[in-house]
Chain A
C-alpha cells in the first residue's frame, strides 16, 4: 500500500492494511514510545494504537515533543 508519511510518499510492501502499532514497528519509527500520531488529520490516542487501522492512501504525521521547534 501507498501512504503519505510526514508529507512524503511511503510504500509498505505486501500489506493492504496495518494497525498503528504495527506500522510504527514496520517503519522502525524511533522512540515510538513518545510519538504522537496524526492519521488523516486526526490525532490518534495512544490506547487505541493497536486497533486503529491504516489503509492504502492514508496520510500520517508523526509528532515528537522532544524536538526544538514548537
Chain B
C-alpha cells in the first residue's frame, strides 16, 4: 500500500488496491456471496465489534466492492471510499450522514435534476432545508450561510448548466463557516481533478458515468478525504465517531448507520465491471475532452446553432477557471441551442450515430433534450435555475472518431 501511493494516477487506475487473485487471476474476483462464514464465534464477534477486519454480509461489505473502494480512495487521495448502488444513493447516504432535521444545505443551484429533487423535495419532508445559490457568485454563497447551515454542496461542472465554480474559493467559505464541502465530481471524474486538491472534504461520483465508461452499470461512490474535523460542536452527533475513529469519523458514521440502515449497497458484479471500466479512465477522458472540443468548435460555427456552452471554448466565461482546476481539460459534456424545442426534437430525430437517452459518460455519443426529460417535472422557473432552456440539447461526446461525430451533427443540422 505504501508503494501504491507513489504510483502515478494512470498506474493506480489499473493496479490501485488490486490484490493477487486466486489461481493467478489478474482481474478482481466476483465474490457473488450474500454472506461470509467464519471459523469461530469469537472471530465473528471481533469482526462485528470492529476489532478485526473481515467480511460479514454483502450489504455491509464485499471483497469485490472493497477492491473498487480501495482503488477509488487511492485515486482520490482520500482516507476511505464507500461504493453505493447508484450516484443518487451516494449523495443521499452521504448527505444524511451529516444532516439532521433542522439542518440546512447550502447548495449550488446548478445541479443534476435528481440531486435537485432530493434536496428540494425529498429532504424537505424530513425537516432538512436546502438553499440554492449560483455557485459562481461567491459573495452570495457566503451571505447565504446561516446558523443552521451544515453543508456546502456543489458540482465540479454543473450538469447540465456547464458552469464551473471556483471550488478552492468555496472551500475557503466552508472552512471559515466550520462546515464541510461536498463536491459531486461526476462530470469531471477523478482524472480531471482530485476533489481533495481543490479543497473538497467529501467527493461524490456517479460511477455510472465516466468511471464505468461503457453505459453498462449503475453505481456511485463517496470518498472521504479525512480533512474535516468532525469533533466540532456544530456536529454533536459525530462525537462518538470522532472520538473513536478520528480521521475516519465520517466514513464510520456513514458505514455504521446510513449505508447499513438504508442498504443501498452495490452488487458485486457491478463493482467488478467498475474495476474493469476504470482502468482506461485516463485514456478515455483525454478522448472525451478532445472530441468535445472538436464538436463544440464545429457547432459554434454552424448557422443553425444559436449558442454553445462548453468550458473548453476560449470565450466561455468558465474557460480560465476550468483550465486552472482541471489541467486545461474541459470534460466530455456540452450543451447547445437551436431555434426552439420543436427544432431540437427534429435535430435529435435526425441524428443517426448519437443515441437519444438519459445518460452521460458512455463510449457512445449521447444526446438528450433536458427540458422535456430529466427536468420535465419542474416549473419553467426551476428549469431556468438549473440552466435548462427549451431549445437546449445536451451532448455527452463519445469516443468515436471526431469526424464521424461531427458528420452526424452536420447532416442532422442541415436537415432542419
Which residues on A are within 8 Å of B, measured CB to CB?
A: 6, 29-36, 43, 45-46, 61-70
Asked whether A66 and B49 contact (CB < 8 A) given A36-B246, A46-B247, the answer is no
A46, A66, A67: the one contacting B246 at CB < 8 Å is A46
Cβ of B324 < 8 Å from any Cβ of A?
A: no
Does chain A have a CB within 8 A of B54?
yes
A67–B245 CB distance below 8 A: no
Cα A54 to Cα B251 in complex, Å, equals: 27
Q: Which chain B positions have C-beta within 8 A of A67?
A: 47-51, 54, 56, 60, 256
Q: Are A65 and B51 in contact (CB under 8 A)?
A: no
Chain B residues with a Cβ closer than 8 Å to the other chain, count: 26
- In the complex, how many angstroms separate the beta carbon of A38 from the nearest chain B beta carbon? 9
B42 CB, nearest partner CB in chain A, Å: 9
Q: In whole Å, how far is B76's beta carbon from the nearest beta carbon of chain A?
A: 14
Chain A residues within an 8 Å CB radius of B47:
67-68
The answer on a CB contact under 8 Å between B246 and A68 is no
Interface assignment of B260: CB less than 8 Å from any CB of chain A: yes
With both beta carbons as reference points, the residue of chain A lying nearest to B46 in the complex is identified as A6
B48 x A65 contact (CB < 8 A): no
Task: State the Cβ distance, A56 to closest chain B Cβ, in Å.
Answer: 22
CB-defined contacts of B61 to chain A, threshold 8 Å: 66
**Nearest CB in chain A: distance from B333 CB, A:** 34
B252 at the interface (CB under 8 A from A): yes
A-B contact pairs, 10 of them (CB 8 A): A6-B52, A35-B53, A46-B247, A61-B51, A64-B51, A64-B52, A66-B53, A66-B255, A67-B49, A67-B56
List A contacts of B132 (CB < 8 A): none
B78 to chain A, nearest CB (A): 11
Instruction: Give a binary string over B47-84; 1 marks a CB under 8 Å from any A CB, 0 the rest.
Output: 11111111011001100000000000000000010000
| B50 and A31 within 8 A (CB) | no
A29 to B80, CA, bound (A): 17
CA–CA, A35 and B246, complex, Å: 11
Q: Are A69 and B49 in contact (CB under 8 A)?
A: yes
With known contacts A46-B246, A70-B256, A30–B49 Cβ distance under 8 A: no
CB contacts (< 8 Å) of B57 on chain A: these are 68
Chain B residues near A33: list those with CB within 8 A: 1
If A67-B60, A68-B48 are given as contacts, then 15 extra A-B residue pairs at C-beta distance below 8 Å, sorted by A number, are: A6-B46, A29-B53, A34-B53, A35-B53, A36-B245, A63-B245, A64-B50, A64-B51, A65-B245, A65-B248, A65-B252, A66-B255, A67-B56, A69-B50, A69-B256
B243 at interface by CB-CB < 8 Å: yes
Alpha-carbon gap, A67 to B260, bound state (A): 10
CB pair B50 A63 closer than 8 Å:
yes
Of the listed residues B53, B245, B247, B255, the one surrounded by the most CB atoms of chain A closer than 10 A to its CB is B53
The answer to whether the Cβ of B8 comes within 8 Å of any Cβ in the partner chain is no
- B128 CB, min distance to chain A CBs, angstroms: 23
Which B130-176 residues have C-beta < 8 A from chain A? none
Evaluate contact between B48 and A34: CB separation under 8 angstroms: no
Residue B401 CB within 8 A of the other chain = no
Contact A43-B244, Cβ < 8 Å, known A33-B1, A64-B51: yes
Q: Give min CB distance, A62 to chain B, whole Å.
A: 6
Q: Measured between alpha carbons, how far is A43 from B244 in the docked complex, in Å? A: 7
By a CB distance below 8 angstroms, the chain A residues around B48 are 67-69
Residues on A with C-beta less than 8 A from B1 are: 32-33
**Given A30-B52, A34-B53, A63-B51, A68–B60 Cβ distance below 8 Å?**
yes
B232-255 vs A, CB cutoff 8 Å, 1 = contact: the mask equals 000000000001111110011001
Residues of B within 8 A of A61 (CB): 51
Determine how close the nearest CB of chain A comes to the CB of B64; give it in whole angstroms. 15
Question: Bound state CA distance, A44 and B260, in angstroms?
Answer: 27
